Amino acid sequence: MEELDQWKEQLLHWWSLAEEQLRQVPPVQLYATAAILVFTTLLLLSLRLLKRAKSNTIVLTGLSGAGKTVLFYQLRDGSIHGGTVTSMEPNEETFVLHSETTEKRKTKPVHVVDVPGHSRLRPKLDEYLPQAAGIVFVVDALDFLPNCRSASEYLYDILTKGSIVKKKIPLLILCNKTDKVTAHTKEFIRRQMEKEIDKLRASRSAISAADITNEFTLGVPGEQFSFIQCYNKVTTADASGLTGEISQLEQFIREYVKP
């Protein structure tokens, strides 16, 4: 009890000292300090708000025939209509995910862009990637081995783009067509792509002095390449656009575009 009283006395003493000090300060200075404090708090608050106003764009990319357009329709309508043909233009729309249309609470619409894999249309990707909240790299898990090299090259080029690295945009490697038993597992696909990128890294750094195309390098020099070493968060998931098994894709979307 006595100790508490002592503390109280000490506090009162400090308070009166502080008061005396404040009284000596001209009021103009006091107002100026208060104004600066209020201004910085408001500035910090608005910066936080701005940061929260995040993009709601999800970009679907990957080689031609991987199943991007089928996934796009599954996300939007929960069906694939009559089927798809090789896309010649990006498919772009803002909608509420089909699986969420039955929910009572309102959910935020997602802006989904499906960029064709045809090499002539790939430059289009640069228009969409920098504004993405997340990138989905679709891989054909059935016909994977013959396409492993070109898919890895495409992925390498995405993961070394300055605009993507600087913003640390998360990327999902989506192994599609898992409705067929002969589809490769996502672990296998991840490992094979890591090996392929490891090889690519060596060949690219050898030529990069001559004609620089990649703004960033990947991985740790002298170490076997792994996606864990990337600046961007890279994860893997399974899907079947054909049968509508897209829950892992929707989970990824909702992790980065909050409902």
Q: Which residues bind ligand GTP (CB under 6 A)?
A: 64-70, 83-84, 86-87, 116-118, 176-177, 179-180, 240-242
By CB under 5 A, residue 236 contacts Mg ion? no
| Shortest distance (Å) from residue 179 CB to Mg ion | 18
Q: Between 169 and 183, whose beta carbon lies closer to ligand GTP?
A: 183
Closest CB 73 distance from ligand GTP, rounded Å: 8
Comparing CB distances to ligand GTP, the nearer of 111 and 177 is 177
Specify the stretch interacting with Mg ion by CB under 5 A; choose among 1-9, 22-30, 86-94, 104-112.
Answer: 86-94
Least gap, CB of 69 to Mg ion (angstroms): 3
CB closer to ligand GTP, 57 vs 178: 178
Region binding Mg ion by CB under 5 A among candidate stretches 18-26, 80-88, 126-134, 137-145 = 80-88
240 binds, among ligand GTP, Mg ion, none (CB under 5 to 8 A by kind): ligand GTP
| Residues 6 or more apart in contact with residue 173 via CB below 8 angstroms | 137, 139, 155, 186, 189, 190, 193, 227, 234, 235, 236, 237
Q: Is 92 in the site for Mg ion (CB under 5 A)?
A: no
> In angstroms, what is the minimal distance from the CB of 102 to ligand GTP?
23
Query: Where on the chain is the footprint of Mg ion (CB under 5 A)?
Result: 69, 87
